[in-house]
């Protein structure tokens, strides 16, 4: 363990911890745009600069290892001015269309502009203009809003292992894109949207659906597979408009394309909402209560078992159920029905 002070507060940290981790352990807020605790340190945005005694100039807290006896300062007039200028430079080339941006209220850059009171900008110059031609069905990419923090590139590589995007070109022309600037063609997990601190990445189907302040959040579990990822439904006037996942969940906030984007069926008016029973041979399927449906299944099971024995019945379980549900299902067939005829689709 090592000991250091941050803003004159003592903290002990394990060897290898960064100055930023030490500050966070003391619940000292240090602004960042490119840092994510689930990704490797990057030091790209320079916002987390801190002053360290005997260091000639401020250094980035996210990439500087904490050492024994270090004396760190995270707040000073000089640091405030430097950080404010960094945000101002980022905004000098930013569309500032927060009024219609799908990420308004969910944008770190917007929060920082508010914090540093950046109404005017001293740096007026050339601006980037890109054709918005990406026709992929899930991820809206507005690269004029990109601040090149590299988080999307890193999450796609370090977490998803897909490497679908990278930073191409250099200098003012640098931009995040798929190979040869083609349309994005990847797993569409949406992890890049989750980590993006600006409105550069958003969901195609979110557009114009509702503002953050109107959203009601409901925690639930993804219905698509037995992994049981935790999800949060964002709804406006009883319509689900977006799905996210909490960072502190079993799936650490990561989802697959089904969990993140496959929610539109919830809002369909013609989806089944009750069991259906065919009450007479050749008749139409009609809505029924769960008691009616389950009693019918039970009576048919009893009849088949009585007339033909338990092996005349078989159970096929679903990959959409949890492990526990599938365990209960096979137990029911073996112990209650009395047959080993039980199988699992193992896919959809």
Binding site for ligand SF4 (CB under 6 A): 139, 146-152, 155-156, 160, 162, 164-165, 176, 186-192, 195-196, 198, 200-201, 222, 224-225, 227-229, 255-256, 258-259
CB of 240 to ligand SF4, least distance (A): 15
Q: Which of 17, 20, 21, 23 is nearest to 5 (CA)?
A: 23
Segment holding 240, helix H or strand E: strand 239-244
CB of 147 to ligand SF4, least distance (A): 5
CB of 199 to ligand SF4, least distance (A): 9
Instruction: Specify the residue, 225 or 296, whose C-beta has the smaller distance to ligand SF4.
Output: 225
**If you write DSSP's letter for every residue of 67-107 in order, what string do you get?**
-TT-EEE---HHHHHHHHHHHHHHHTT----TTT-TTTTS-
CB of 332 to ligand SF4, least distance (A): 23
Task: Find the residue with minimal CB distance to ligand SF4.
Answer: 259
Is the CB of residue 261 less than 8 Å from the CB of residue 242?
no
Q: Which of 344, 339, 343, 342 is nearest to 311 (CA)?
A: 339
CB of 14 to ligand SF4, least distance (A): 29
**242 - beta bridge partners?**
234
Instruction: Specify the residue, 58 or 259, whose C-beta has the smaller distance to ligand SF4.
Output: 259
Q: Report how far residue 60's alpha carbon sits from residue 20's, in angstroms, rounded to the nearest whole number.
A: 8
Chain-centroid distance, C-alpha 142: 18
Q: Exposed, middle or buried, 30 (CB in 10 Å: 0-12/13-18/19+)?
A: buried
Instruction: Specify the residue, 31 or 310, whose C-beta has the smaller distance to ligand SF4.
Output: 31
Q: Report how far residue 210's alpha carbon sits from residue 103's, in angstroms, rounded to the nearest whole number.
A: 10
Instruction: Specify the residue, 175 or 334, whose C-beta has the smaller distance to ligand SF4.
Output: 175
DSSP structure class, residue 115: H
Instruction: Specify the residue, 165 or 342, whose C-beta has the smaller distance to ligand SF4.
Output: 165
Q: Which of 327, 76, 138 is nearest to 226 (CA)?
A: 327
**Which string of b and e fits 316-331 if b means at least 16 CB within 10 Å?**
ebeeebeeeebeebee
Instruction: Specify the residue, 203 or 310, whose C-beta has the smaller distance to ligand SF4.
Output: 203
CB of 79 to ligand SF4, least distance (A): 23
Instruction: Specify the residue, 174 or 294, whose C-beta has the smaller distance to ligand SF4.
Output: 174
CB of 47 to ligand SF4, least distance (A): 13
CB of 205 to ligand SF4, least distance (A): 14
Centre a 10 Å sphere on the Cβ of residue 301 and count the other Cβ atoms it contains. 15
Enumerate residues 6+ apart whose C-beta is below 8 A from 71: 4, 5, 52, 53
CB of 214 to ligand SF4, least distance (A): 24
Q: Report how far residue 235's alpha carbon sits from residue 226's, in angstroms, rounded to the nearest whole number.
A: 24
Instruction: Specify the residue, 48 or 176, whose C-beta has the smaller distance to ligand SF4.
Output: 176
Instruction: Specify the residue, 227 or 321, whose C-beta has the smaller distance to ligand SF4.
Output: 227
């Amino acid at each position: 363990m090592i000991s250091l002070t941050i803003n004159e507060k003592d903290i002990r940290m394990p060897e290898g911890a960064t100055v930023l981790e030490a500050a966070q352990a003391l619940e000292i807020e240090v602004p960042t745009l490119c840092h994510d605790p689930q990704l490797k340190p990057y030091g790209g945005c320079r916002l987390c600069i801190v002053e360290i005694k005997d260091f000639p100039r401020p250094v980035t807290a996210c990439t500087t290892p904490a050492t024994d006896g270090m004396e760190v300062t995270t707040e000073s007039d000089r640091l405030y001015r430097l950080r404010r200028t960094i945000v101002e430079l980022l905004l000098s080339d930013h569309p500032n269309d927060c009024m219609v941006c799908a990420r308004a209220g969910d944008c770190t850059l917007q929060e920082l502009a508010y914090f540093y009171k950046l109404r005017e900008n001293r740096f007026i110059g050339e601006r980037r203009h890109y054709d918005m031609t990406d026709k992929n069905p899930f991820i809206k990419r507005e690269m004029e809003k990109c601040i090149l923090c590299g988080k999307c590139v890193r999450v796609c590589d370090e977490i998803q292992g897909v490497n679908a995007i990278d930073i191409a070109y250099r200098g003012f022309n640098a931009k995040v894109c798929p190979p040869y600037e083609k349309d994005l063609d990847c797993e569409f997990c949406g992890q890049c949207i989750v980590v993006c601190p600006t409105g550069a990445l958003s969901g195609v189907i979110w557009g114009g659906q509702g503002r953050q302040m109107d959203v009601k959040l409901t925690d639930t579990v993804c219905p698509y597979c037995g992994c049981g990822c935790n999800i949060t439904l964002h709804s406006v006037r009883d319509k689900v408009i977006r799905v996210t996942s909490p960072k502190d969940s079993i799936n650490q906030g990561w989802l697959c394309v089904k969990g993140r984007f496959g929610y539109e069926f919830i809002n369909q008016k013609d989806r089944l909402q009750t069991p259906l029973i065919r009450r007479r041979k050749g008749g139409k399927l009609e809505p029924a209560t769960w008691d009616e449906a389950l009693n019918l299944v039970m009576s048919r099971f009893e009849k088949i078992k009585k007339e033909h024995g338990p092996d005349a019945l078989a159970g096929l379980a679903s990959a959409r159920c949890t492990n526990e549900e599938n365990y209960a299902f096979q137990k029911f067939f073996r112990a209650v029905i009395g047959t080993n005829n039980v199988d699992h689709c193992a896919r959809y």
